[in-house]
Structure 1
Amino acid sequence: MKVCHNLICFFLLFSLQDGSTGLVSAQLSVFSGIEGADVTVKCSIPSFGIRKFFCKEPCDKEDILIETTDATAQRGRYSIDYKDRVLSVTITQLTKSDSRRYRCGADTSLTKASYEYIEIIFIDAMLDGGPSAEKTIDARTGGNIVVQCNFTQYRYKKYFCKEECKKGDNLVETSKSDQEKGRYSIRYTHRFPTGDVLYVSIKQLTQSDSGWYRCGLSRTSSNDLYQRFRLIVTDALTTSSPSSSVPSASTETSNQSESSTSSPASPKTTRGILYVRLTLVVLVIVSSLSVLVFCRKRTCKAKSEEPEPPVETQYDFVTETDRVYDDIGGGRAGADLLLSVISYQYESLLFDY
C-alpha cells in the first residue's frame, strides 16, 4: 500500500515537470488592457525564489523580457516588483503585439523554477455597467475586434448577438467557458473578487458588420444581464477626409493638360510674347535704317565719281536721283512713312497685350 501511494505521488510530480524548468503551476491568470494603457499582472512565487523572471511563451533564452535577483527591476517597458511572495510585473504602453501568453515566476533552485501562466488580451473597448453604458467602436475592414463585458453576477448561459437579438438570432450562445462559431467567439473568465468577464470578438470585419451588438448572460430569465456597443466598420482604403487625399500623378497630368488647353494664358506668357514682338520690330527698324544709309552713301559716291554733265543733263540726273532716293524712303516723306509703319506696329502690339 505504501509502495502504491509513493508511485502515485511520483507520477503526480512527474506530470507537473516541464522539461528542465521544474515544477509548473497549472493556474492561468487572464488580464486585459486597451491600446496605450499600462497593465500590471501578478503571480505568487515561493519566498525562497532566487531569480525572478517574466517571459513570453515558449520562454526560451531569447524570450525573456525581464529578470532580476533583486526585489525590483526595470527593462524597457517592463518592470518587476516583488513583495510578500507576490511578483508584480507592469507593462507600459500596451500594443496589440502584447496580446499573448507569458510566464511569471522564480527559480527555486539551480535546476527548477516555479511559475504561473499569464495571458494578456488586447481589447478595443471595455463595457462596465448596465445596458445604458453604451460605447461606439470604429474599425477597418479586414481587422479584428475584442470587447470586454464586465458583470458582477454569474449566469450559466452566455450569448453574443446583433441588433434586436431575437430568439435564434444569436451569433454565439454557450454554457461553456469559451465558444467559437465562424468569425464570432465568446470567452468567459471569472475574476475574484471583481466578478465575471465576457470577451466577445469578431474576425475579418466587413462593412456589413456595422450595427448594434449585445453581450450578455442568461437571456432565458427575466433578469437578463447584458451590455451594448455600436460597431462602425469603414473601408480600410477610404481616406479619412477629402482635404487629406493626395491626387495621383495621372490626375495631376490631366489637370495640367486641361489647364493648358482651356484656361487663358497667364500674364507672364503674354508679357513674353510682347517682348518677342517688340524685339522683331526693333530689328526691322534697324535693318531698314541700315539699308537707307547704305543706299544714300552709294548714291553720293556715284555722284562724286561721274563727270560733270552739262547744265541741262546735270539737272535731269539730279532730279532722277532724288526721285529714286525718295522712292526708297530717303526723303522726308519716306522717313515719315517708315515712322508711321513703326507706330502702327507698336500700337497693334499694345492693343494685343
Structure 2
Amino acid sequence: MVFINMHLQGHFKITLTPVYVSVVLRCWFVVVVVSSISVTGYSGGGVKITCKYKTKYAQNEKSFCRGDQTQRSTCSELIKTETKDKRVDSGRFSLYDDTSSAVLKVTIRDLNEEDSGTYYCTFGKTRGKDSYTEVNLKVIRDDCCEKSISLSAAAGGSVNISCKYPQSHINDVKFLCWRSGDDLCAEESSVTKKSKWINKGKIKLFDDREKQLLSGSISHVTEQHSEYWCGVQSDQGHKSFITRVTDEDDDTDDDEGLRIGDEDNEDNR
C-alpha cells in the first residue's frame, strides 16, 4: 500500500510512504499414503499382489498386515520375512521379496468375502511416507465362473481346459498356472491377444472374448495328481486366481502330479 501526497504549486510533488504488512502463515502437515493399489479377488480363489518399493528398502524386513498402518498397533501382522529372493509361507499367506526388481509379492489363498478390507505391504520398521503401500482388497462372488473343475487325462495324452471369466476382465491378460504346494503359480502360460492361439511348451491357450472363455490344452500329461488355476492379470501385474482345475481322481494333497512334461520346476516365486 502507498500513500500519495500531491501539491499543486506549479509542480507536482509526490511523496511515497511505504507501509509494512505482517503476514502469519499457518501450515498443516497431513500424513498421506504415497502408494495405494486396488485388487479384486474371487471367493474360493486367490490373489498375487505386487508391491513395489524403493531400492533403499531392499535389505529391510518386509511384512504384510491388515488394519491401519498409520497406527502400527492396529495393523495386525499376517506374515513377515527377512529372507531375500525366496518364498516364505504362513497359513494362507506367502511373501516373496524380489530384491532385483524391488517388488514384494504377496499371495493370499482360499479367499472368502470376509477377506475384503485394507491391508499394507511394509518395507521396514521406519515410518517414512514411502515405507509402505496400501492395498485395498475386494473379494466378490461371481456366478459367471465355476470355482472348481475336475478333468481326467490318460498318461501321455492331453487334456482340454475351458474357464469362464468375468466380463470386467475382458481386456486383461489371461493365464493358466500349475500349482506346486503353496505356490499357486509355479509355472505359467498366458495369452494377451484375443482370438489367437498361444503355444508355450506343452500348453496352448486361446482367449475367446466374445464368450468370456479361456480355452486351452495340456499335452504329455502324467497319471499323478495335478492342480492348475485359470485366472486374470491386471495391468498393474496383480493376479486373480478364479477357477481351480484338478484331476477327477484327485483325493490327496500330493504335489508331484500331472505336470507340463517331465521338466523340473525351479521357479518357486
* TM-score normalised by structure 2 residue count: 0.39
* TM-score normalised by structure 1 residue count: 0.30
Select the structure with the greater relative contact order (CA < 8 A; seq sep ≥ 6): 2
Looking at secondary structure, tell me which structure has more helix per residue.
1
